[in-house]
Chains A and B, each alone.
Chain A
Amino acid sequence: MTRNQAMAAILCCGLSAATAFAGAPDFATEVIPVLTKAGCNSGACHGAAIGRGGFRLSLLGYDPDADYEAMLDEFEGRRVNLVRPERSLLLLKPSRRLPHDGGLKLKTTSEGYRLVRDWIEAGAPRGGGIHLQRLEIVPTSITLPSVNESVAIKVTAHFNDGRSRDVTDSSIFSPLDKGSLSCDDSGRVRPLRPGQHAVMVRFLGEVGCVRIRVPLHEQKPPTSPPRSNFIDDYINRTMADLRLPHSPRAGDHELIRRLHLDLIGTLPTADEVDAFVNSQDTDKFSRLVDRLLKRPEYVDFWSYKWGDLLQIESKRLQPEGAASFHRWIREQVAANTPYDQIAKELILSVGDGYKHGPANFHRVPSDARAEAEYVSRVFLGVRLQCANCHNHPFDRWTQNDYHGLSAIFARLSRGRFVSNKPAGEVIHPKTSKPARRKIPGGRFLEEKEPGRQRFTDWLTSPHNPHFARAAANRIWRELMGRGLVEPVDDLRATNPPTHPELLDALARDFIEHRFDVRRLIKTIVTSEAYRRSSRSVEGNEGDGLFYSKALVKPLPPVVLVDAVAYVTGVAEPLGNVAPGTRAIALGDARVSSEPLDLLGRCDRTSSCESSAPAGLPLTLHAIHGDWLNKKIASPQGRLHQMIAAGRSDGEIVSTFYRLALSRPPSERESAWWREKLKTGNHQERVQTLEDFVWALLNSAEFCSNH
């Protein structure tokens, strides 16, 4: 009533619509959330880049000024009719009293409709000055006893003027996987199946996630899992919540093979296996980790991983640039240069790319925008490209962040000689003016400030949670077979980790120990979670997320190619590089190799977080191609040498098992092969043995790290 009276007063006095009005709903923090909740400004409707039906709103309401203008100034004031509020198109269309392609979005009896009407009646003030500071979601994590239970989520908005408001009704709830959770508009969430699920909560520009766990089994597992370091605390707690039983520790034969393949990309020799298995030292696993971290193959293998991440290849960088980049990376891996130091040097370097390795970092992306995306992907694990055209709809990155970071990289020339340019800018698509340089999620830079220096300071600061988390997540994935966040280049508020607290703890640990990569690797592999068997026990057969058993990892293409060469005793020819060079030591993804291509190596022309092997062509090649057949049949190869030296079938079988699988054959296996290898003449025997080696090289046990 009071509002209506005041409304009349405004009209009489002819006050402008923008006059602030005590008690009127606030445009930015109350009206827009109604439209967002109703779906008006979604990408499929008026939030699309060119709007819908001539009416354009910013995507999910990220730009209240533009939205206000679209409602009040365009279309001759018919969208918002201050004289006769009920005749405003903003009310008539969504309530379907006028035809609306989008259908019924706001019932006239709804709270949202009333709010928009009250706002118009109050003169549709722009208001302003109030913005959301923080979103509080309760609970953020809960374990429900069964799928028959539900939970009500409460969302409280804290504004900069010190006020707080329950905005549950205006918030949007969307399950990350609709098959796992259902939720209604009032924030009540009901799990549809056991397991760990998440629901995304959005209000204005802020997003958050709520984790919901429902036990997988009725009974608690018979034993609790062992603990070796802090990693196990988090892993074990999750398994306990889910009542997920764990597999026992893997045997020594499995562990040494696994550790060799993960740390140095190389199979252990038969002698190394024997020494480890026979050692009585209780600390032998930890000592093995230390030894492997000092091996030259560690440098080869982890430099190769860096090469995939940084996209080192000779088409873009030329052979000289790729070689100098790779050489520099190898030096850093060999010296165990702290991870933040590597990032700093990469981002700050300029100079001749053919001579100064890290300068090539700026030569990989083609322009400033591409470099902003590249830097974000490599060091923040973020896909910033969504924020090119609009604020990232599922994260906190804004369009200003995107173009502001691009502008930081605009003053570089990217030829063979990377150098600073006095000028260079990036045009912000919204203003059509040069974008101001900006720290992502932070402040704008002053004209005189050194942009890359300021960005690097922010990036590698111990207070930046994104940098260490992205790195820890990638290293975790390399060793454990799955990132705590997948994909590893898509870290965002709405893609929650399987174990958020663990990722935070790993990042903290990484920062506290000055970004020591080898130390982080050792911490991860000495956890009990790493050392579990990959074989299931009753109740954890389906687990691929919670580390109740080790994940079986296919051997990476370069590792498999090297392993085949090692077992057969015949080197793999790789492009024009020196004969005998190992695939893990390659510095350039352009070195030609049919098996590496078919196995799905990253070609490094774009991000390779998910490249896949060729499938059937690879299998055909394994059956008919030269890759395996030539090596197996080579007179200089291991098999033919052993035959020539008069070795028995049993010796040959045992030797190949130990080389390829890092274990002797079992009694049953030996007996089976004795039977199969009983053949007549010499030629028949040779062929049968060749077929044995072929089968071994294609076996699931050989081709995977388990």
Chain B
Amino acid sequence: MRRCDGIHRREFLRVGSLSALGLSLTDALRLQADAGNKKPTNCILIWLDGGPSHLDTFDLKPDAPAEVRGPFRPIATNVPGIRICEHFQSLARHMDKVCLLRSLTSELGEHNFGRHYLLTGYKPSPALEYPSIGSVVAHLRGVNSSLPPYIAVPNVSRQGGAGYLPASAQPFAVLGDPSKPDFRVKDLRPANGITSSRLHRRRDFLAGLDALSRYIEENDFRRQRDVQFEQAYRLILSPAARLAFDLNREKPEVRAKYGRQKLGQSCLLARRLIEAGCPFVTVTDAGWDTHQQIVRNLKEGFVGGYNGKIPQLDRALSALLEDLASRGLLEQTLVVVMGEFGRTPKLNTSDGRDHWPRAFSVLLAGGGTQGGQVIGSSDARGESPHDKPITPTDLARTIFTLLGIDPDRELQTSDGRPVRVSAGGRVIKECF
């Protein structure tokens, strides 16, 4: 039923946009893609870097002692029984689209280790650097638009990289701040006097130089560079790709709805990129490592303000979900919101919380997940999973499955070793 509804709405919208607004680029791309049989699911990963406090966002414990409960109260949402932090006022109206996992659990309470575990689904190993989920998607989906297959807005931590996969699976970091009026991806437009015929000639010269040199043989270094050049040329030579990065094509109302900050505009850019054919976009939001002053950092942003991490995420995420849904994109766009771990149940002496990997929450929406539900729970103080513990490996396996990638498929390291997309873990079936 749900699926049918989605398609109806999408069909309806498509017709609407054609007649009322004329055929924009993104519409054309969508039409093109819709013409195919089954569209693969894409992914927007909103990475809350530093480790968001589960107890102050999606897993509040109003009945716990004050030092655990913290400063925020829960509010009801549009799904009876699901309560989230009071500062997610808009998101509370979209919980029917959200599948909330409250029993994530890991052992790695250090940022880099935690990032690696959550972003790759593997615990870090000295023997092998594993690729991030985005890189695996990029590698297996390959290139089917002029956009790079994995884009990081504005950038991503090292653990979000290609690991043992080739450089073509590296994320393309757009850099800069999408909320700035002069934001644009640097060096996408030609320099003075460099015409496209000269671009082609330079490409030809470079290939000739390398091929003729007796002094340097084909090696990883050269292969990686060649891939970078190929990707760069594809991007430069496609006007469609360049337009996808241009936030000025959005109406001011839409831009305002996402919030005029970095996170909001990054989420809007992510939507444009997904629409234009990029299968995996990571939006990174720093500042969730709240060892101090939860109220200031998560709620206020500045003294007396209401612009902290939570209100910003509230605006951006609810706008994104609404926008994806109204464009009929939510069914084939998986939205994942997570960070590297949760935070200590007991407030510390600086009114903050420290690292806590033992129990935390992750939010999924769209992409074939069943919204309006909570899966798993933590115990009374948010210390450990109470039921249905979910490991980062389980989560990675589930994400791959939702994205239509067989988690047991084997990949190859550069020296020919077979490594599975995801090893161990179980799919969280309740999500579907």
Interface positions of A (Cβ within 8 A of B):
43-44, 48-50, 176-180, 254, 385, 490, 495, 534-536, 542, 552, 554, 610, 612, 614-621, 623-626, 629, 633, 661, 663, 666, 668-669, 672, 676, 687-688, 691-692, 694-696, 698-701, 703-704, 706
Contact = CB atoms under 8 A, between A and B. Distances in A.
B172 A615 contact: yes
A160 to B, nearest CB: 32
Contacts of A177: 125, 127-128
A48 B357 CA distance: 11
Interface string B342-359: 000000000000000010
B383 A621 contact: no
A242 to B, nearest CB: 15
Given A179-B127, A621-B187, A672 B212 contact: yes
B3 interface: no
A40 B417 CA distance: 32
B205 A692 contact: yes
A288 to B, nearest CB: 19
9 contacts: A43-B107, A49-B109, A179-B419, A552-B221, A623-B232, A624-B194, A629-B191, A661-B213, A699-B210
B187 A554 contact: no
A552 B231 contact: no
B228 interface: yes
A178 B198 contact: no
B170 A616 contact: yes
Contacts, number: 143
Given A177-B128, A703-B225, A706-B215, A691 B107 contact: no
Given A179-B417, A554-B221, A701-B209, 20 more contacts: A43-B107, A534-B217, A542-B415, A552-B221, A612-B161, A615-B172, A615-B228, A616-B173, A616-B235, A619-B225, A620-B235, A624-B187, A624-B189, A629-B192, A669-B212, A669-B213, A676-B205, A700-B221, A701-B213, A704-B216
A700 B223 CA distance: 10
B383 A50 contact: yes
A508 B398 CA distance: 53
B175 interface: yes
A623 B221 contact: no
B128 A616 contact: no
A614 B173 contact: yes
A694 B232 contact: no
Interface residues of B, number: 56
B205 A621 contact: no
Shortest 4 CB-CB contacts between residues of A and residues of B: A695-B205, A177-B127, A620-B187, A624-B187
A148 B419 CA distance: 22
Contacts of B419: 179
A624 B110 CA distance: 39
Contact of B209 (A178, A542, A696): A696
A478 to B, nearest CB: 18
B191 A687 contact: no
A676 B191 CA distance: 23
Interface in B193-207: 193-194, 198-199, 201-202, 205-206
Contacts of B212: 666, 668-669, 672
Contacts of B167: 615
A96 to B, nearest CB: 19
A617 B210 contact: no
A49 B358 CA distance: 10
B388 interface: no
B38 interface: no
A623 B201 contact: no
A618 B128 CA distance: 26
